């Protein structure tokens, strides 16, 4: 068990793992954004459009997609994913090919993506507590955005692309060495899943 944990830990520190995670997550997020954009057009044409992901009262893209939260800035939120994820894909592919980006560039990526994650979770909580329905593609965006954010933050903490002081950077690296990043993200996702089930419970299957 402990041997496995050490091996997984060592693998998680490799660029191959970090940037592959980033690449796959960004591709999934892009795919979901694309589907949601297409759905947004379908809903604009016909508000009663029967989308494939309207499964029941709780799992329904139609309900979520027709809410005001779904186009907070006057256009479907998914367009933001279409704009941002290709940049992440580019960073991930270039990094897998051993390109090193300037620290300022990575800092900018971190800042913008952090805003994206905050927005994604704002939407998630709106869907959960205000709109009262979840949509599968939005959940995929929430999950993949979390994973992109995790891998981006991991690499930026490791390489100190965030211009942290020596002292803070040492602490961050120590946290990465004991795998605190994985613990935090895992517990966070467990918390999110538990929240969905506590809030909706059996009605998810109704």
Partner 1 sequence: MPQPTKKKRTLSGATTVKTAGTGRAAAASQREIMRQAREQEEREAKLRRRLGVGTLGVVVIALVVILVVVVVPALTKKAAATGSYALAIGSESAPVTIDIYQDFMCPYCGQFERAQSADLKAMVDSGQAKVVFHLMNFLDPSSSGTKYSTRAADAFATVAKQQPSAALAFDSALYADQPAEGSSGLTDAQIADRARSAGVSDAVIATFANQPNLDFVNKSNQAAFADGITSTPTVKINGTVFKGDLYTAGTLKTAVEAAK
130 by Cβ neighbours in 10 Å (0-12 / 13-18 / 19+) ranks as exposed
Nearer to partner 1, 4 or 97 (CB): 4
Alpha-carbon distance of 72 to 45, in angstroms, equals: 19
Closest distance to partner 1 from the beta carbon of 182 (Å):
7
Alpha-carbon distance of 119 to 113, in angstroms, equals: 10
Closest distance to partner 1 from the beta carbon of 194 (Å):
6
Alpha-carbon distance of 2 to 33, in angstroms, equals: 39
Closest distance to partner 1 from the beta carbon of 131 (Å):
6
Closest distance to partner 1 from the beta carbon of 205 (Å):
4
Q: In 3D, which of 77, 73, 51 has the Cα closest to residue 62?
A: 51
Q: How many CB atoms lie within 10 A of CB 171?
A: 13
Helix ranges (H only) for 46-130 are 61-65, 78-96, 103-125
> Contact residues for partner 1 (CB under 8 A)?
1-2, 5-6, 8-9, 48, 50, 56-57, 60, 63, 66, 130-133, 167, 170, 174, 177-180, 182-183, 186-187, 190, 193-194, 197, 201-202, 204-206
């Amino acid at each position: 068990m402990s041997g496995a944990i050490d091996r997984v830990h060592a693998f998680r520190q490799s660029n191959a793992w970090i940037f592959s995670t980033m690449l796959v997550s960004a591709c999934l997020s892009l795919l979901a954004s694309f589907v949601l954009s297409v759905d947004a057009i379908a809903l604009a044409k016909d508000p009663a459009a029967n989308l494939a992901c309207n499964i029941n009262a709780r799992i329904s893209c139609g309900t979520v997609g027709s809410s005001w939260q779904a186009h907070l800035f006057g256009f479907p939120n998914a367009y933001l994913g279409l704009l941002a994820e290709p940049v992440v894909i580019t960073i991930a592919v270039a990094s897998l090919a051993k390109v090193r980006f300037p620290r300022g560039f990575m800092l900018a990526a971190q800042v913008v993506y952090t805003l994206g994650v905050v927005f994604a979770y704002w939407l998630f909580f709106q869907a959960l507590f205000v709109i009262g329905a979840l949509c599968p593609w939005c959940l995929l965006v929430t999950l993949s955005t979390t994973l992109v954010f995790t891998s981006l933050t991991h690499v930026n903490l490791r390489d100190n692309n965030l211009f942290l002081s020596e002292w803070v950077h040492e602490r961050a690296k120590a946290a990465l060495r004991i795998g605190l990043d994985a613990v935090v993200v895992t517990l966070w996702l467990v918390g999110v899943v538990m929240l969905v089930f506590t809030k909706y419970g059996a009605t998810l299957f109704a």
